[in-house]
Amino acid sequence: MYAAVKKFAFLIALAAAFQTAFAQEDISRIISHYNASTEDYTPESTTDSDTVFADLIGFEWAHQSVYALSRDGIVSGRCEGVFAPGGNVKIKEFIKLAVLVGGLYSEEFNCDFEKLDKNDWSYPYIASAEDAGIVDFLPYDTDFDEYITREQTAVISAKILEFSGVSVRGDYGVLFTDDSEINAQNKKYVYALKDMKILNGFGDGSFMPSANLRRCDSAVIIYKLREILKNSL
């Protein structure tokens, strides 16, 4: 009952927030869309808290991943009620997520990357990843505040699986249209994640290795990695 009342209050607040930008009929459509998109994925079924990310409308395919990881404290929103699914992900942010789901975290390791401040919150996560050989493909002058690319994401994800004893093999039968833009040493990881349906290409047949990873995609990838690792135990 409490969750239902809180949801109704949230919808009223949402309508008020958009009132100056949308006509009344548009507001009704937004609320209707919100209800429809969360009909089978309410906060009660996805998280122990009452967290609802209103901006996941249009990203229903990511609901399960985002809410499951949010419930377990692995991902969080940018602010209350806002997940920012289309936002970019920093290299250090994705490494943290990968280290957490891979069970690699330790504060005992030192890090050799030149531009990484030992006082930065990400230091122990990156040091843990370095010790496990997860980020050995990155240059020592890597700026971990830069946004992670899809290719870097594929490599880190595949190496997390390899470290945990999961076989990672790529099928080169059907190449991406921009295959030549993928670093040769990383292709096996890119195609492995494609075959495992962890990180797919685009409708035009491309992979876009240099494109930035979105927060919604990051959540889905981390969720899939966690499920694979659970089933491999």
| Tokens representing residue 39 in the block | 């009909």
135 in the same domain as 163: yes
Measure Cα distances from 38 to 8, 35, 45, 179 in Å.
Answer: 13, 5, 10, 38
CB atoms within 10 A of CB 128: 25
pTM over 0.75: yes
In a domain, 218, yes or no: yes
What does 171-214 look like in DSSP terms, one character per residue? Answer: --SS--TTGGGS-GGGHHHHHHHHHTTSS---TTS---TTSBPB
pLDDT in tens, the chain (233 residues): 444 444 444 444 444 443 333 333 333 333 333 333 223 333 333 444 457 899 999 999 999 999 999 999 999 998 888 999 999 999 999 999 999 999 999 988 889 899 999 999 999 999 999 999 999 999 999 999 999 999 999 999 999 999 999 999 877 778 999 999 999 999 999 999 999 999 999 999 999 999 999 999 999 999 999 999 998 87
SS3 76: coil
Q: Which of 101, 97, 99, 131 is nearest to 113 (CA)?
A: 131
113 in the same domain as 31: no
167 in the same domain as 133: yes
In a domain, 179, yes or no: yes
| Tokens representing residue 64 in the block | 């399960």
**Contact call for residues 154 and 211 (beta carbons, < 8 A):** no
Q: State the Cα–Cα distance between residues 47 and 67, nearest whole angstrom.
A: 6
SS3 6: helix
Q: Which segments within 74-194 are labelled E, that is strand?
A: none
| Tokens representing residue 129 in the block | 């990843």
SS3 1: coil
How many Cα atoms within 13 Å fall on the side-chain side of residue 117?
4
In a domain, 35, yes or no: yes
pLDDT of residue 30: 33
In the chain, DSSP finds a helix count (H) and a strand count (E) of 9, 0
In a domain, 62, yes or no: yes
45 in the same domain as 13: yes
SS3 82: strand
User: Residue 102: CB partners within 8 Å, gap ≥ 6?
Assistant: 132, 134, 160, 163, 164, 225, 229
Torsions phi, psi for 104 (to 5 deg): -100, -5
172 in the same domain as 122: yes
110 in the same domain as 58: no
pLDDT of residue 50: 55
175 in the same domain as 98: yes
Number of independent structural domains in the chain: 2
225 in the same domain as 153: yes
Residues spanned by the domain of 20: 2-71
96 in the same domain as 49: no
Unique residue bearing structure tokens 């970019």: 88
